[in-house]
Chain A
Amino acid sequence: MNLYEKTASELSRMLQSREVSAVEVTTSFLERIDQVDPHLKAFITRTAEQALDTAGRIDYFRQQGEQLHPLAGVPVAVKDNISTMDLRTTCASLILKDYIPPFDATVITALKSAGMPILGKTNLDEFAMGSSTENSAFFPTRNPWNLDRVPGGSSGGSAVAVAAGMAPLALGSDTGGSIRQPASLCRVTGLRPTYGRVSRYGLVAFASSLDQIGIISMNALDSALFLNLIAGYDPLDSTSLPGEVPDYTAGLEPGLEKLRVGVIRYGSTEGFDPEVTEMVQKAASLLEKSGANVGEVSLPLTDYGLSAYYLIAPAEASSNLGRYDGVRYGFCAGGDSIEEMFNRTRGKGFGPEVKRRIMIGTYALSAGYYDAYYLKAMKVRTLVRRSYEEAFKKYDLLLGAASPTPAFKLGEKTGDPLQMYLSDVCNITDSLAGVPSLALPGGAHTSGLPLGLQLTAPPLREKLLLQMACFFEKYSEQAPRRPVLDFIEGGSSDEL
């Protein structure tokens, strides 16, 4: 088995026992990237030299007998909306095409100090606005399970990097499903932690009350290892949560007795593939057979929540993206007056979806419409939160689907923004409520495409999500698996 097929925890163990060197590990992933990324296009920027440099330093420190972090030498891919000092951070936008951050995001500082080699920056929908990675200003990313299909989005590049063995771990961001939906479409594990559990400092802002950095990995244990590193209070992010960070890797062996699981019955099943509903039912009966108390829960606000989200997120975006004016950083189109410069810079620098969201947001915030749209949406958000509080009085955990359908075709939804927005319907209310949520492989569609389950827990109960994900990895027949990439000569290996 090649090193690039190993999970992060296996690599961590092998590195610590000096079975392999960090340079060997990093080289294996870099070669894999060279081999498959020309077809998949997960990376915007590759950083082979820096990665090998970090790996070499880690090997040296290990030889010196220094105490190292368990993830030292385990490589990682980073979504290109997370600031990396002296390394281009584009947000997949023309307006930031040549932007070089003068500082590191807090999560980047953490992975650098742990000695994790950064393999590169991954593709996304421009400014994380989208559900297919087709809104990247540079190129779309392709789903490794079927190259004619989208990988989901907006963290499509990170999901593909992990799914195709180009990175054992990746950082993503999730505003309204941008980690969980692509994870489910690519058959990997995607964790959106509780809002505030991981510092947002250095994450380029889209919708500040919803944005959250999270993890894409091959399994729950890998997520736990990585979460240990990035979770915690950060004085540079006043919305990060104070309080102790538990060891997420401890006690992942699940005990299901008396666990109360609410299976989500969606308000409208319109647009749901019947096989998705079936997958959720199967997972529910497995839990029941294993001793959990399983009931049904309806979150009646799913549809309203989606509509509220598509007012709140654009409203915050229209404000956050006001900073791109061609003055302090980014692309500048010039002009005779400052007004003309602003208008032209933004008109040329932003792509269609970003413009749509800025327009919706500006409209919803403008005089005369504020009460009916933005204020009303914030009140609906309160109702959504309450519906979760009610559900969590009865249940410890909610179980549902991570996406209403398997991966759709490239171009299928680009002409119809509303259809595209509906692909986040399973993910969005969790984001509005600020609760942690995890997507994991749930099975295969008859088309062969992956399907994903989604688990949702009360605030700060990430451990429970990881335990349950471990349970499914162990007892369901849906063990992590990698796609066969038949565009590579001689095919590639498959079973993990």
Chain B
Amino acid sequence: MPADFVREVDYVARLARLFLEPEEKEHMAGQLSDILENARRIQELDTTGIEPTSHVTELPAVLREDRVRPSLPLERALQNAPRRKEGFVRVPRITLSEEEQE
């Protein structure tokens, strides 16, 4: 299982956008396979015809009145951004030019 599972860990870490050091991966593979093995015991329960519970309150979706209200000022909203410029957050480039795409 573990050797196989390291590949699985690689895949899941990619989905979760989570960089793991090689030794971290190996350690985690062992722990995750134990945890998931324990979790699998819920398969023993018969849940035929049982609806899933995603929430306990059974409240209907609440819609508020569509009214203009004050929101966080731009400065406040950006105060924690690690990189910002002229009222925007700054990130590495995420789009490619047409030539680059080819």
Contacts and interface: CB of A to CB of B under 8 A. Distances in A.
Sort chain B's interface into a size bin. 35 or more
Given A337-B92, A363-B12, A100 B80 contact: yes
Given A209-B56, A358-B18, A380 B72 contact: no
A348 B20 CA distance: 9
A241 B53 CA distance: 18
Contact of B92 (A328, A335, A378): A335
Given A346-B18, A359-B12, A380-B42, 20 more contacts: A241-B59, A307-B41, A310-B35, A310-B39, A327-B91, A329-B81, A336-B92, A344-B19, A346-B19, A355-B18, A358-B16, A362-B12, A364-B39, A379-B53, A382-B50, A382-B52, A385-B53, A417-B31, A418-B35, A433-B56
B102 interface: no
A98 B92 CA distance: 22
A360 interface: yes
Interface string A309-341: 011000000100010011111111001111111
7 contacts: A98-B80, A102-B77, A195-B56, A311-B42, A372-B43, A377-B42, A385-B53
A217 to B, nearest CB: 25
Given A343-B18, A383-B45, A209 B76 contact: no
Contacts of B93: 337-338
Given A329-B80, A338-B92, A380 B16 contact: no
Contact of A341 (B38, B47, B92): B92
B57 A338 contact: no
B59 A238 contact: yes
B22 to A, nearest CB: 12
Contacts of A356: 28, 31-32, 35
B68 interface: no
A379 B61 CA distance: 21
Nearest to A343: B19
A235 B62 CA distance: 9
A103 interface: yes
B85 interface: no
A329 B72 CA distance: 15
Residue in B13, B42, B51, B62 whose Cβ sees the most chain A Cβ within 10 Å: B42
Interface string B62-95: 1010000000100011011111000001011110
A443 B9 CA distance: 44
B52 A379 contact: yes
A309 to B, nearest CB: 10
A238 B61 contact: yes
A388 B77 CA distance: 43
B39 A373 contact: yes
Chain A interface size, under 10 / 10 to 19 / 20 to 34 / 35 or more:
35 or more
A102 B28 contact: no
Interface of B: 8-9, 12-13, 15-21, 24, 28, 31-32, 34-36, 38-45, 47, 50-57, 59, 61-62, 64, 72, 76-77, 79-83, 89, 91-94
Contact of A195 (B13, B28, B39, B57): B57
Nearest to A369: B36
A130 B54 CA distance: 22
Given A355-B28, A383-B47, A196 B19 contact: no
B69 to A, nearest CB: 11
A434 B36 contact: no
Contacts of A326: 82
A37 interface: no
A98 B94 CA distance: 26
Given A308-B42, A376-B43, A359 B91 contact: no
Contacts of B43: 372, 376
A130 to B, nearest CB: 14
B32 A359 contact: yes
Contacts of A380: 42, 45, 47
Nearest to B13: A359
Given A335-B92, A338-B94, A381-B53, A103 B72 contact: yes
A259 interface: no
- With a 10 A CB-CB cut-off, give which of A98, A360, A378, A379 has the most chain B CB atoms: A379
Contacts of A337: 92-93
A102 B76 contact: yes
Given A308-B42, A379-B50, A342 B17 contact: yes
Nearest to B75: A102
B33 to A, nearest CB: 10
A350 interface: yes
Contacts of A385: 53, 56
A366 interface: yes
Contacts of A328: 80-81, 89
A362 B38 CA distance: 17
B14 to A, nearest CB: 8
Contacts of A239: 55, 57, 59
A304 B45 contact: yes
A99 interface: yes
**Which residue among B12, B21, B34, B76 has the maximum number of chain A CB atoms within 10 Å of its CB?**
B12
Contacts of B61: 238
Nearest to A435: B56
